[in-house]
Amino acid sequence: MMTFFYISAAVALISSVLAISRSNAVHALLYTIVSLLSVALIFFMLGAPFAAALEVVIYAGAIMVLFVFVIMMISSGPGSTEQERRWMNFRLWIGPSVFSAVLIMELFAVMSLPHEPMSAKPVIESKQVGIALMGPYMLGVELSSLLLTAGLVGAYHLGKRKDDASQTEDVTPHD
Amino acid sequence: MTSVPAEYGLILAALLFGIGLAGVLARRNIIFILLSIEIMLNAAGLAFISAGSKWGQADGQVMFIFILVMAAAEVSVGLAIVLQLFHRIRTVNSDEANTMRG
């Protein structure tokens, strides 16, 4: 188990360093997704399968899709098709693919290990997490629903394009 | 089969947090800064999961879910601000956005 932990930790650290040091935003995004996947595998090894699933579904799925949308909206222009052709280059996604292949092989290896409940760490199932969420943490759940509503309204308000209202206001002198 | 000690998870969380902090401090592209913040929040979640796994309690995963909710709200508002900023000053360099109106 320790070997698997070391491999995932190495993949997480290397891909995080690569993610913050790339010059292209899409490459950084790919390496960030690999980093999140390796941390999800570490969650699985630490006995938190529900958190691992949430990490893959929400972090590596939903939040990274938001980043992809914004990068697409920002970099759309006359050179975007040529840029897309460059992104399809094989060398660009070979690094994240190799890391992801390492992670998926490791996942299969960890899942095929014989389960020994005496020596292994106790697995905290999603049922216990749900009971804790709906019991002593009820106020936190309500507060996070409020936070998500505020985030939704705020993102809608900020993302709304004010049609030339701000530009004309800037052009006209105030005094 | 020996299980992973919680201290190793905490050390990895600290290292990932340091990498994210270095990214926030070093990069000037706002999208990279948001990505680094995601790495830092993820490291915080890893610390909570490690601690919860050490004590065998579900509270660590509960706190991880709260961090997840907070990260989702933060990144949606942050990316909306990035889009608005890009429409105004046509760049994502955070050093360019150093003027205030008024």
| N residues, chain B | 102
Dist CA A88 CA B78 (whole Å): 28
Q: How many CB pairs under 8 A join A and B?
A: 186
Dist CA A10 CA A21 (whole Å): 17
Q: With contacts defined as CB-CB under 8 Å, which chain A residues touch B3?
A: 1, 47, 119-121
Q: What is the pLDDT of residues B13-62, one digit of tens each?
A: 999 999 999 999 988 888 899 999 999 999 999 999 999 988 888 899 99
Q: By the 8 A CB rule, do B13 and B67 touch?
A: no
Q: How far is B98 from chain A (nearest CA, A)?
A: 16
Within 13 Å of residue A55, how many CA atoms lie on the same side as its CB?
Answer: 30
Q: What is the pTM of this model?
A: 0.84
Dist CA A68 CA A74 (whole Å): 10
Helices A2-21, B6-26: axis angle to 10 degrees equals: 10
Q: What is the pLDDT of residues A103-161, one digit of tens each?
A: 888 888 877 876 654 445 678 888 888 999 998 999 999 999 999 999 999 999 988 87
C-beta atoms surrounding A138 within 10 Å: 11
What ipTM was assigned to the predicted interfaces of this complex? 0.90
| Window 52-71 of B, Cβ < 8 Å to A | 52-53, 56-62, 64-66, 68-71
Structure tokens at A173: 């002198």
Q: Do B4 and A5 touch (CB under 8 A)?
A: yes
Q: Do A20 and B22 touch (CB under 8 A)?
A: yes
The verdict on B35 touching A (C-beta cutoff 8 Å) is yes
What DSSP character marks residue B99? -
